[in-house]
Amino acid sequence: MTKKTILVTGSAGFIGFHVTKKLLETGNKVIGIDSLNNYYEPKLKKDRNKILLESKNYKFYKLNLKNEKELKKIFTENKIDKICHLAAQAGVRYSLENPLSYEESNLKGFINIMECARHFKIKDFVYASSSSVYGKNKMDKNGFKESEEVNQPISLYAATKKANELIAYNYHHLFGINCTGLRFFTVYGPYGRPDMAIYIFTKNILAGKSIDVYNNGKMFRDFTYVGDIVDGIIKSLEKSYPYEIFNLGDSDTIELKYLITNIEQNLKQKAKINFKPIQPGDVEKTFANISKAKKMLGFNPKTKIEEGVKNFIEWYKDYYKI
């Protein structure tokens, strides 16, 4: 990609941090926006951001995207070539308890950033969707495909992500903005989110506490390493398709019990497991069909679960000085 100035929202978040880091390493300038909210420990966000601030090509704004006036000011102050919109209120279970934070971040924030793209004539817009949009869809042996209808989300979080895809289509249709939506499948890796299973399991096993495993362990996820996700995002920014949606996953479904075994092996410590029924909003199995992303983006995930878990545990021990 020719060197550009790219706006990354959620730049101090898990995926946003890794994307920003990669963009800076490859000589681009990044305008970062993050609210540094307390959905999880803000220290982790600040530590990620501190690393990014070491680059002279990174300019950071602490801002909530619902603040339309301040957001417009950022676009006035900076010449932005492309937008990579990764900021969102994440979490399926959290959406059951705090629905209004999803309306504010994932709907109002999304429209505000799209409005800026429209008024400041920014042609290329890449944004994070989610595998959760597949909801109650029945999956065949080849995994979820982008061509399926996704009209049965089973969490508010998933519904807001589906809404983002529809809003993006509208802005593409009316204003000619190139919009690429990326449905991420269970992303994990160093500097990951503390509300994700791998993080919670590692923390509790090390503390000698039991871990809650839902659906009595019969949960299957397409765990995707953050480095592979970053590769897919960068390729999407380079391609700038008029309007597309892509699955970004490892295209391999892993039983939760196998993930736990890998964590145990790396920690050299056994987990105390507390089996529980499936929770509202949870899907039993995810599996990405990535043939479209392979063909159109050249997306090719390389990091298998064993290597990815090892990388995460090494980071965790180093970060928490264990």
Give the integer Cα–Cα distance in Å for 180 and 165: 9
Residue 236 burial (CB count, 10 A) = 26
Contact 115, 38 (CB under 8 A): no
**DSSP of 47-61:** HHHHHHTTSTTEEEE
| Active-site residue, 157 included | yes
Which of 58, 61, 94, 157 is catalytic? The answer is: 157
Give 244's strand partners.
180
Give the integer Cα–Cα distance in Å for 188 and 303: 11
Question: Tokens 């993080």 map to which residue?
Answer: 199
Structure tokens at 150: 């996704």
Contact 58, 32 (CB under 8 A): yes
Structure tokens at 122: 């920014």
Pairing of strands 210-214, 187-188: unpaired
Residue 219 burial (CB count, 10 A) = 20
Contact 132, 155 (CB under 8 A): yes
Give the integer Cα–Cα distance in Å for 161 and 107: 9
Structure tokens at 169: 């289509």
Q: Which residues are catalytic?
A: 157
